[in-house]
């Protein structure tokens, strides 16, 4: 497994295991999944306080038998800010959320805390106070955001002392909005519409690592595109490279994301240990420029 430099500050595996779906797993199966990740070079695990209503963090800690000697072998990221029917970046909620996550995870610190979805009622000075308390106390080492545009990040950055190292964004072969607008500049067509303020270029300019969530999904959790009859041309093209490289189609889908020079870290949320081994094979190959564009066009995208 290759490592990348997160925010040009610390090294982590270019593939991360997302733990949203482990809440209802048997502890022994969760243990197998986590250890499979570690055995295949994954050293970064993605959580959020809302995953399973907090149970995902509890299952993770129980499955790994959290203790100092184990904790040192990997990095944990969690997120906060989504509540039942609203978003909350208040100082009180951020601090309480982290404390509760630490209890569930049975650890003294998390390596990264992300603000989960934008809160339009956010007071950036409150966020700055919360981050400073968490950083000085040693409860959080690094900070970032999720699903935020450049101006939202700039607003936060004006107040917080700690650098925002990460922006977690939806990206897959069939969800390429941040890429489309950059390819269709000066075109009067729908893909040229810049919906997110050139977030891809902004993150690259500011050394913010993009984390891609839902790398196999199309739409907003509408289903997977792999082996889906709705995407015949895309799957035909992906299967050509399955044959060429001798890896599963999941590895090709992830390799497509990893091929981008932005050094995007991919969050995969499988709960199947064997499938995770297949996915990790993406780190062993690099698609050519033409292969990358062939897959992009096979997904229904047109180049100007």
Residue identified by tokens 């997904």 is 299
Report how far apart, in Å, the C-alpha atoms of 54 and of each of 22, 61, 132, 282 are. Answer: 11, 11, 24, 30
The encoded tokens of residue 282 equal 């993406």
> Could you give the CA distance from residue 176 to residue 112 in angstroms, rounded to a whole number?
26
Residue 123: how many other CB atoms lie within 10 Å? 13
> Can you give the pLDDT at residue 8?
97
> Can you give the pLDDT at residue 237?
98
Q: Spell out, as residue ranges, where the chain has pLDDT lower than 50.
A: none
> Could you give the CA distance from residue 260 to residue 47 in angstroms, rounded to a whole number?
24
> Could you give the CA distance from residue 10 to residue 83 in angstroms, rounded to a whole number?
30
CA atoms within 13 A on the CB side of 289: 1
Domain 3-298: top CATH class:
alpha beta
* Beta-bridge mates of residue 12: 4
> Can you give the pLDDT at residue 222?
87
Under 8 Å between Cβ of 83 and 53: no
Given 51, 241, 245, 296, which residue is catalytic? 51
What are the percentages of helix, strand and coil residues in the chain, rounded to 5?
A: 45, 20, 35
**pLDDT tens profile 206-226:** 999 999 999 999 998 889 999
Give the residue extent of every domain in the chain.
Answer: 3-298
The encoded tokens of residue 66 equal 């959290």
> Could you give the CA distance from residue 139 to residue 137 in angstroms, rounded to a whole number?
5
Does the active-site annotation cover 51? Answer: yes
> Can you give the pLDDT at residue 220?
85
Quote the pTM value. 0.97
> Could you give the CA distance from residue 42 to residue 175 in angstroms, rounded to a whole number?
24
């Amino acid at each position: 497994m290759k490592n990348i430099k997160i925010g040009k500050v610390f090294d982590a595996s270019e593939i991360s295991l997302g733990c949203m779906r482990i809440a209802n797993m048997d502890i022994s199966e969760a243990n197998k999944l986590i250890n499979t990740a570690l055995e295949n070079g994954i050293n970064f695990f993605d959580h959020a306080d809302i995953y399973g209503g907090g149970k995902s963090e509890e299952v993770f800690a129980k499955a790994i038998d959290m203790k100092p000697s184990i904790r040192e072998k990997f990095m944990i990221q969690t997120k906060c800010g989504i509540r039942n029917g609203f978003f909350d970046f208040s100082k009180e909620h951020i601090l309480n959320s982290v404390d509760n996550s630490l209890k569930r995870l049975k650890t003294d610190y998390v390596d990264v805390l992300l603000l989960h979805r934008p809160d339009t009622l956010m007071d950036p000075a409150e966020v700055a106070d919360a981050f400073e308390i968490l950083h000085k106390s040693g409860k959080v080492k690094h900070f970032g955001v999720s699903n935020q545009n450049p101006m939202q990040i700039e607003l936060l950055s004006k107040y917080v002392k700690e650098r925002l190292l990460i922006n977690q964004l939806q990206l897959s072969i069939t969800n390429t909005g941040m890429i489309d607008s950059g390819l269709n500049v000066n075109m009067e067509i729908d893909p040229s519409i810049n919906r997110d303020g050139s977030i891809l270029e902004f993150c690259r300019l500011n050394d913010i690592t993009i984390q891609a969530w839902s790398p196999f999904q199309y739409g907003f959790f509408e289903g997977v595109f792999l082996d889906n009859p709705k995407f015949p041309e895309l799957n035909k093209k992906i299967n050509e490279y399955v044959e060429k490289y001798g890896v599963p189609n999941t590895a090709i889908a992830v390799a497509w994301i990893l091929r981008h020079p932005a050094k995007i870290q991919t969050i995969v949320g499988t709960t199947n240990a064997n499938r995770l081994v297949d996915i990790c094979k993406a780190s062993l190959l690099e698609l050519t420029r033409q292969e990358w564009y062939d897959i992009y066009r096979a997904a229904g995208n047109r180049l100007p």
